[in-house]
A and B are shown apart, each in its own frame.
Chain A
Amino acid sequence: MSEDCIRLEFDVDSENFASAGMASEAVKTKLKQLGINMQDVRRVAIAMYEGEINMVIHAKGGKATVDIFPHRVDMILADKGPGIADIDLAMKEGYSTAPDNIRALGFGAGMGLPNMKKNTDAMKIDSVQGIGTTIYMTVNLH
């Protein structure tokens, strides 16, 4: 980690579904303080929020690490959840494995991973069933 990097770390709590989004909001606030342009702030916030929600819905929480560099933001979201059985399928808009109680909250439209992909410049998913999932995302800053 270079000196030009600001690192933010979060434990994403699955116990309190109502508090989901706190990490994304903290990252957004920090980026705004740093004077990052709003379009980029919004892309980071969307990607981060979707990742956070996924960890709450599917993996009983996890850890989020956000590194803010002068020209990019790296996000690493790591969980010890069930893993993604078919990543290609999971990336399709409209495909969801979220249960009905989650859909009733307004999630489970099958837009989470596609939204993350759309709003980042690079995204990589490492997932092993029964072990967990780690998602690496980068948003370039303009």
Chain B
Amino acid sequence: MKVSRLAEILNAEIINLSEDREIETGYCGDFLSFAMSRLPSNSAWFTVMSNANVAAVAVLTEAAAIVVCENVRPDENLSARCKTEGLNLLIVAYPAYECAVKLSQALKNE
């Protein structure tokens, strides 16, 4: 599923969409060391963490998109760094669990 399609499903606000990458799976988590070691590449990463370090972890793990949940506003450094690094960044109202359920359903229906 493309990032743009996930954005539609989740009624997301798109902060940055550099390359409409293919999403293969998802990951939920806020502790960066857990995400760093466990986030599968080509994931949609659902988190409420919103500082610039999220971008570093997303680059290193090759996440397809960062999805900031529960309408948390990403700080300016995160938005700026996503634009510089070509990382896809979305904001959604749903909590991580609901995002994951919706992604899972959509992936199954593909």
Taking Cβ atoms with an 8 Å cutoff, the residues of B that contact A are 30-34, 36-37, 41, 49, 51-57, 59-61, 77, 81, 85
Within 8 Å by CB of B56, from A20, A109, A112, lies: A20
Give residues in A with beta carbon < 8 Å to B. 17-22, 24-25, 28, 38, 42, 45-46, 49-50, 53, 105-107, 109, 111-112, 115, 118-119
Question: How many A-B pairs with Cβ below 8 Å?
Answer: 70
A24 touches B60 (CB 8 A): yes
Known: A38-B41, A49-B60. A111 touches B53 (CB 8 A): no
State whether B56 touches A24 (Cβ < 8 A): yes
A28 to B41, CA, bound (A): 14
What is the bound-complex CA distance between A22 and B77, given in angstroms?
14
Chain A residues lying within 8 Å of B56, measured Cβ to Cβ, are: 20-22, 24-25, 49
